A and B are shown apart, each in its own frame.
Chain A
């Protein structure tokens, strides 16, 4: 902005003309940020501070919390379940991104097209997003019942159907169900972004002799970069804080094999009434999610949001 003012050709004397929206309008006063700041302080900062304080105490919810120093933190540090839970959260998140992104891109790009059946099918694909996570989890739990569900009819694929009895299959179920649930949402992001790609690019490519596949890889995918970043960040943050699916589908089992960090926090705080340890786990989750998001934003240039339409 400053640069623009400096290089603007000044024909007359440097007499500043006030133009609304022009370069000389100052930033709004800090007062305007007050409502949002107060809201953020009351509902984000205050609970976070409370959690930090609680993580240094022993508290069952009865009586005042007892100061315990770093005892909870030391226990967590040596807790194998905690370590595994972080690893599990990362694996689930990564698998989620890997499973959902290609599907969402393909369906999204397809749904952006002009086909006649598109509107109807898109609406059908959108349905899972309208259901609550709890309903979806209960539904799949019933569908995957080993004796009366799908596995009983497809033994060549599922064997004895003990999907919730092994770590690998339980993780696969979790990834599958969240993919089923969230792919429509990310499809929507890609659909919107694909609609925004100027037709001229495709016209030009066709003149150059590019086929559909080539067009997809050389035009569509690069043009979807910002949508991709948005979608992945949402997937990562959502994946790290996944909770309801695990609560209903596996309860962290078998044993502790799918106890991800968010579920472990719930288990400690609300099933074991150990709010101190629960708070410490929550804080770990906050710090980890923030760090990962920051790294993602920086690494992908999301904060700059550079347009992909330069030269058009």
Chain B
């Protein structure tokens, strides 16, 4: 064998190896591990509750639950890598919406409608606006399993008092508040623009207030024309006005929420407001406990006069969900485990660590929450919301996340205009 044939053979062998590496068939139920179900969750502080619930379940069950965790931000990548292999979990944590859509499309998930038929509580015990986030093509694919995180308008009440303003209830009030604060050299709204998703929250709320939740639902279902509608243009023009009025200062693209930059602007009084998910509260409790206790205010997003959206609508992360693998060997055991996600024990454990569950029985335990007033405010908000829009970057499948983030950043910093933004949104890969 001379060198050249050896090389050719080597190449062919590696190509064969390479091809064998990808693809492969999804394992059937019979290939799955015996007498256990694997539950995979995002690894963080909430695992404490999940461990407790699993222990409770295992006390009486014959098919035991094994809890696996994937820590940090790589969760979605790693899940995507294992979900079609023998290592796939029976039940796994996800964000509903777009995060499970590719799996539904690949026919990997079990619709939970039969389970719900045998135990209606699996649906009836959850707030509808939250439960619906994990409904894909009319079928239910997820059971809420952590806390809800609506986006709220947070404020530094000390700054507001000194500047003689109050939290704006309407868009016009918001604009005049911006002018007042600007004249006193205070950045009206802290914005972690470098993270991009905090900027997106402004789009989500304004689109909902101006056009109602239908516009985005239609867009998600493939109707690209809604992006160029009058309502869409109106929302974008209003955002443009707000940015141009200096509502966010000029250097928001260099500020991050994730490294504590934008919450510090709020707590140190350099900014008056921040639009942020409900986790802002616990973030600030940790970073500046005195401020969180004395001067941190929270309220709802202002109304827009003439807008089609209900002022009670909210946006944010509805909850996290457990979804079930189609090939699970023990669907009945899975069902019994999922039932624990609305038990009193679950609700109390979540409330104790500062999460706000979205079960109907949560209300009676709110007094025991870590911050009862804050929890009650949020719970009523979620309960009364006619529509709870899941964050756009989670409603769309993963391929759309980066284009969305880039478009909102570019629109805010002026490198694309209204038409540019519309074009970017129309170019998103379709959800269905």
Contact = CB atoms under 8 A, between A and B. Distances in A.
B17 A63 contact: no
A253 B84 contact: no
Interface stretch (A188-196, A224-232, A265-273, A292-300): A265-273
Contacts of A153: none
Interface stretch (A1-9, A16-24, A54-62, A126-134): A54-62
Given A65-B22, A142-B259, A161-B254, A45 B83 contact: no
Contacts of B406: 253, 255-256
B245 interface: no
A54 B254 contact: no
Contact of B194 (A61, A62, A253, A273): A253
B410 A46 contact: no
A160 B399 contact: no
A163 interface: yes
Interface string A105-123: 0000000000000000000
A160 B17 contact: no
B106 A64 contact: no
Contact of A50 (B22, B102, B400): B22
Interface in B226-274: 249-256, 259, 261, 264-265, 270
Given A45-B10, A160-B250, A255-B415, A62 B409 contact: no
A271 B402 contact: yes
B81 interface: yes
B108 interface: yes
Nearest to B190: A147
Chain B interface residue number, banded: 35 or more
Interface string B66-109: 00000000000100110110000000000000000011001010
Contact of B17 (A46, A251, A256): A46
B24 interface: yes
A214 B77 CA distance: 58
Interface string B1-40: 0010000001101110111011110100000000000000
A162 B402 contact: no
Given A62-B83, A147-B255, A148-B261, A273 B21 contact: no
Contact of B18 (A47, A59, A160, A161): A47
Taking residues whose C-beta sits less than 8 angstroms from the other chain, chain A's interface range is: 35 or more
A53 B19 contact: yes
A254 B264 CA distance: 22
Given A41-B14, A255-B413, A59 B22 contact: yes
A64 B23 CA distance: 4
A273 to B, nearest CB: 5
Contacts of A272: 398-402
A253 B409 contact: yes
Contacts of B250: 160, 162, 165
B140 interface: no
Contacts of B259: 138, 141-142, 145
A98 interface: no
7 contacts: A46-B14, A53-B19, A59-B22, A145-B259, A147-B255, A147-B265, A270-B77
Interface of A: 30, 37, 41-42, 45-47, 49-50, 53-54, 59-65, 138, 141-142, 144-148, 160-165, 251, 253-256, 267, 270-274
